[in-house]
Structure 1
């Protein structure tokens, strides 16, 4: 059953204030949209002129002219906020930031402090513009994905290539991609080879060279020559569409910190409104020369200072920046909650094949007895040419200078190997059981080899063997060392491969604990046993197919190379779009940097507000200090959050 996908056109900034901003206006959403800034510019110019007229004490600039002037200056930035506040009230949500800004600025007008009333609303509006500009900057990497969505596909129909919309191409059809064009749909390569730029999908700038029958993904750019691809997924199920869908949903999954601040703001706002009323009225009972206007002014300052804008803007923006920075490096978090979760991981459990190894067999060693290596391999390859086993494919990669020879009468010996005739000689290719069952003596040195071994006997005499091993990924050793440096106390390897090979790989990588020969349910039991200790915060890294149960059971499930795996997309919490395990270390760094910036913003916002609140209640702070405590702090917090986009974590 297909999952319903969100339309890609709906990819837009989430509401970062906790309240709806959809008033039909663009609140600074597009940096290129100059009209967005016009209301603030009008208010700013009129405010400066009004202050200049006040300073020069011009005769005409008295009430009601002065009131009308500042009212006109107020409306371009104030009307949208007043409207938003009123709509919130009609929906039963009274104590919002719009309500605070509205009563504070209208109160300033009521006591004749027109310039300050305009200034507060103007700087609040400017803060909103900065917020939206910052959101757009954080979304830059995500929007870049929209640009790589192909607009057309050249599909082979009726013997000719036709340019059609990718949505109309069916599975099994052949498409052609010219040099410089984007692959419109996922598929398998029909051409002999292709050089592809996969930066939009994986974050890797290095071109990827693939051979015939390899999987290729929508959004990749063809760099070399014209290629043909057989379509394997419909457009809506393509890799680029799934990534966009994933990122869309990621911004909706809030972290605990973010949810706490939202709830806190809803409790905090009504409290400060009643405290402001107290600041205005209670001194009447204790102060001899009580002047209502002075205490009202202090209460208004109190309201402006206490507006939770800096918190409700900068904290979600911090997490959004973290999600954007991660996607830039080919790491997809399914939500802000997992940015938090990955910072707490202290135990890392990993699969072997496809995670720290390439999952591709390769010849590690060739040993012959009384045979020239080239001739020996020619006989072996003649036999293995008849097999489709992965080990046979590895052997066929060997470059031999000997002329090609063919095997005849090849038959398979169940569970043991192959038997056939090459150049009139009887050849046996397989494991030790095949050799011993045919009375061939096997050298004892083979008993110490833990990797896969292919033995060869020619005319009833042991001719040699080939050691086949899965190759470690280039960054595997560096990754394990780096994991310890970032505070991962325990690294454990669980593999379905035989235990001897698993132990050898673990030894090479300096992994403390390793277990091989495990079924998926065995891996699950191991992780469940670790989870019984509440101190263990477990991340599991796997390929997202056989490891799906463990990915789901872990505190953080990480899918390696999950770009083409539906199971990885569905099950994992974090998806590494490349096959590089080192990206897991980078994901931890990004999570920690995001958490650090979020807490810096919380401390900054609360610290400044508390200081200025005390000064305001004591009559030592004016409305201008209040503006800094609100909009100024929000602006500083936004700039701090933007830093995430500049970090490299290299």
Structure 2
């Protein structure tokens, strides 16, 4: 699939009746809580949605009882007609109104107009029960469609809308609780321990530790210092801190992500676009055929009854209504986006669901994708002549004087610093390491070049070890070394195994040294791996893969790898919710930073596509059969109802099934 096709798909933004109807239906049955959020009004609203249909159903059943089983002498003439009209009004008037709205917008041959003509026509030929029944079942189908959409949106909102409703601000040193949406830029938020930040801002306190899981998927504390940026969704872990608001509520990163997913259905999949274009041609043709079915026999059949011809034409119209396609197919893709969001995978459009379903090669960065992106001590190898714990405490004390990631890794491994150690004459030797005096003994911590610099003899070959090495010398004697590496993620192996099971190739590209890349690749079973790459090298590698006519998904941070992300068919960002650049660049964002979500995203794409095509096949097959029967006078209005509303309901139920699947 060519990159230009990807761009074309992104530019397909045209909205049709079904999009507006989905939005209108959802809005009509939601309430604003005053914080910019919309929540379904639960069971009460759902019941209210069914009230018109229940009223029509009760009146219809009673009327049919009077017609066939409990015959009443008074239930004739105008009384009978009026009864059926009253039964029709609750479900028919909203559809007729929508038909007029569609005509004003230029969409003459809408499903609303077809249903209005068919049911009013049924009344015109005195088929009152069938006229009410057709509209009743259509209305029920619309309700189920609305509920399905609401459920998909609820999945997205539950996952993404991490913002608290209220914040505590300081006005003249007095704490005041206000709605988060009302907080102004420059306001000072007082955040207690355990509270979640409502807006993006700048930390005013000296230090504060935050749980950033809502943004990055990392549950470990992230310590921020004065002046650093903190984001909406972060949870304050320790003491009270103060934050200066720098971004409006609606412009926070979480708000942007929420908006991104809600608008994702604007980017249509090719199948969806085709069906909509098809429906615009198909519906007028069917209307013309219905007119011909009614009028043509007048010229060829001697004893032709116009009422019978009109009845056949009306049946034909009901059957032909394309709502099973134009409702269930977008709903299938919307359900796929909702199911993905529920599992922490954010698709920017239904078009990317289709592309993910056909991915042939997943090209991934190493650091932060298959590895944690955080240095950790892997192994400690010390000479038995020295006390391991004592030496580690000395190393920890010396490294506490450095801000290097290696120092952080050692501190996390050893723990609290022993303050009883008499640390003196600390000297940092650029590019080599540190030297200090502890208890009047010289301690050297750094790379092996530092050992050579001070003529410290060692009996090993540093090149034989892949990981980063930190050598230690005490009192002019070589003690041993620590190996430090970026550890492989827990589910990295599962990811590669699942991709292989899906017959998807994997390629690893990294700027890290090649020996490390090959070690990780070998451990995970990735055959194609390349290290020591510059950004332009990565671009060339991906071009080579695309030249083989393979569909490529690139997985990285979406910032440093922006050129490769733009080149690939799908750009996937790992844990990128904390970065504006990632949001803008990536087509798919994996919220919890787990690579195992990559094969899950492919599976969701495949299942969505499968369900969509099941719905297309079901709708066309049933409609074709009943259309032929209807044109030949062998199908009644009840068969027409099944061919239209029944198939639509089955397709909708099939579409929402994806939200219950386990991937």
Same fold flag (TM > 0.5): yes
Q: Which among 633, 639, 648 is matched to residue 653 of structure 2? A: 639
The structure-2 alpha-carbon separation of the partners of 1:477 and 1:78, relative to structure 1 and needing over 3 Å to count, comes to same
Corresponding residue for residue 51 of structure 1: 64
Q: Which among 256, 261, 266 is matched to residue 252 of structure 1? A: 266
Question: What is the CA-CA distance between 1:232 and the residue it aligns to?
Answer: 7.6
Corresponding residue for residue 539 of structure 2: 524
The structure-2 alpha-carbon separation of the partners of 1:272 and 1:53, relative to structure 1 and needing over 3 Å to count, comes to same
Aligned counterparts, 1:423-438, within 5 A = 423-438=439-454
Corresponding residue for residue 212 of structure 1: 223
The structure-2 alpha-carbon separation of the partners of 1:232 and 1:393, relative to structure 1 and needing over 3 Å to count, comes to farther
Q: Which among 523, 536, 540 is matched to residue 508 of structure 1? A: 523
Does the 8 A contact of 2:324 with 2:648 survive in 1?
yes
Q: Which among 333, 337, 341 is matched to residue 319 of structure 1? A: 333
Question: What is the CA-CA distance between 1:419 and the residue it aligns to?
Answer: 3.4
Question: What is the CA-CA distance between 1:290 and the residue it aligns to?
Answer: 2.4
Deviates more, 1:621-630 or 1:599-608: 599-608
Deviates more, 1:274-283 or 1:26-35: 26-35
Corresponding residue for residue 32 of structure 1: 44
* 2: CA distance, partners of 1:611 / 1:448: 73
* 1: CA distance, partners of 2:266 / 2:559: 26
Corresponding residue for residue 460 of structure 2: 444
* 2: CA distance, partners of 1:581 / 1:256: 27
Deviates more, 1:244-253 or 1:157-166: 157-166
Does the 8 A contact of 1:201 with 1:330 survive in 2?
no
Corresponding residue for residue 6 of structure 1: none
Q: Does 1:582 align with 2:596?
A: yes
Corresponding residue for residue 428 of structure 2: 412
Question: What is the CA-CA distance between 1:348 and the residue it aligns to?
Answer: 0.6
Corresponding residue for residue 295 of structure 1: 309
Does the 8 A contact of 2:264 with 2:347 survive in 1?
yes
After superposition, give the CA deviation of every residue in 1:21-48 in whole Å (9 maximum; x if it has no partner): 8889976666522443333233222222
After superposition, give the CA deviation of every residue in 1:133-157 in whole Å (9 maximum; x if it has no partner): 1111222223435864312222456
TM-score by length of 1: 0.89
Question: What is the CA-CA distance between 1:502 and the residue it aligns to?
Answer: 1.0
After superposition, give the CA deviation of every residue in 1:531-586 in whole Å (9 maximum; x if it has no partner): 1222x111111122212222222111111111211111111111111121111121
Corresponding residue for residue 496 of structure 1: 511
| Structure 2 residue ranges without an equivalent (≥5) | 1-14, 31-40
Deviates more, 1:563-572 or 1:243-252: 243-252
Aligned counterparts, 1:589-604, within 5 A = 589-604=603-618
Q: Give the CA RMSD over aligned residues.
A: 2.9
The structure-2 alpha-carbon separation of the partners of 1:23 and 1:351, relative to structure 1 and needing over 3 Å to count, comes to closer
Deviates more, 1:247-256 or 1:184-193: 184-193
| Structure 1 residue ranges without an equivalent (≥5) | 1-13
- The SS at the match of 1:64 is helix
* 1: CA distance, partners of 2:474 / 2:268: 66
Q: Which among 474, 481, 500 is matched to residue 490 of structure 2? A: 474
The structure-2 alpha-carbon separation of the partners of 1:82 and 1:23, relative to structure 1 and needing over 3 Å to count, comes to farther
Does the 8 A contact of 1:185 with 1:231 survive in 2?
no
Corresponding residue for residue 340 of structure 1: 354
Question: What is the CA-CA distance between 1:347 and the residue it aligns to?
Answer: 0.2
Deviates more, 1:568-577 or 1:19-28: 19-28
The structure-2 alpha-carbon separation of the partners of 1:357 and 1:20, relative to structure 1 and needing over 3 Å to count, comes to closer
Aligned counterparts, 1:82-481, within 5 A = 82-144=96-158, 148-156=162-170, 158-159=172-173, 161-167=175-181, 168=183, 170=185, 173=188, 175-179=190-194, 181-186=195-200, 208-210=219-221, 212-213=223-224, 218-219=232-233, 227-228=240-241, 230=243, 234=247, 235-369=249-383, 370-397=385-412, 398-399=414-415, 404-481=420-497
Corresponding residue for residue 36 of structure 2: none
TM-score by length of 2: 0.87
The structure-2 alpha-carbon separation of the partners of 1:438 and 1:171, relative to structure 1 and needing over 3 Å to count, comes to farther
* 1: CA distance, partners of 2:148 / 2:206: 44
Question: What is the CA-CA distance between 1:240 and the residue it aligns to?
Answer: 2.7
* 2: CA distance, partners of 1:452 / 1:592: 41
Q: Does 1:42 align with 2:58?
A: no
Deviates more, 1:97-106 or 1:372-381: 372-381
Does the 8 A contact of 1:377 with 1:400 survive in 2?
no
The structure-2 alpha-carbon separation of the partners of 1:58 and 1:602, relative to structure 1 and needing over 3 Å to count, comes to same
Does the 8 A contact of 2:208 with 2:238 survive in 1?
no
Corresponding residue for residue 4 of structure 2: none
The structure-2 alpha-carbon separation of the partners of 1:586 and 1:52, relative to structure 1 and needing over 3 Å to count, comes to same
* 2: CA distance, partners of 1:581 / 1:642: 26
Question: What is the CA-CA distance between 1:424 and the residue it aligns to?
Answer: 2.8
Does the 8 A contact of 1:436 with 1:442 survive in 2?
no
Deviates more, 1:32-41 or 1:156-165: 156-165
Corresponding residue for residue 11 of structure 1: none
Deviates more, 1:604-613 or 1:416-425: 416-425
* 1: CA distance, partners of 2:176 / 2:52: 49
Question: What is the CA-CA distance between 1:216 and the residue it aligns to?
Answer: 6.8
Does the 8 A contact of 1:176 with 1:229 survive in 2?
yes
The structure-2 alpha-carbon separation of the partners of 1:562 and 1:231, relative to structure 1 and needing over 3 Å to count, comes to farther
* 1: CA distance, partners of 2:49 / 2:417: 71
The structure-2 alpha-carbon separation of the partners of 1:563 and 1:401, relative to structure 1 and needing over 3 Å to count, comes to closer
* 2: CA distance, partners of 1:232 / 1:550: 35
Aligned counterparts, 1:61-80, within 5 A = 61-80=75-94
Does the 8 A contact of 2:208 with 2:223 survive in 1?
yes
Q: Matched residue pairs, number?
A: 627
Deviates more, 1:25-34 or 1:92-101: 25-34
After superposition, give the CA deviation of every residue in 1:610-639 in whole Å (9 maximum; x if it has no partner): 111111111111001101110111111111
* 1: CA distance, partners of 2:165 / 2:27: 27
Does the 8 A contact of 1:27 with 1:129 survive in 2?
no
Does the 8 A contact of 1:331 with 1:577 survive in 2?
yes
Question: What is the CA-CA distance between 1:286 and the residue it aligns to?
Answer: 4.3
* 2: CA distance, partners of 1:86 / 1:310: 21
Question: What is the CA-CA distance between 1:404 and the residue it aligns to?
Answer: 4.0
Question: What is the CA-CA distance between 1:105 and the residue it aligns to?
Answer: 1.4
Does the 8 A contact of 2:491 with 2:596 survive in 1?
yes
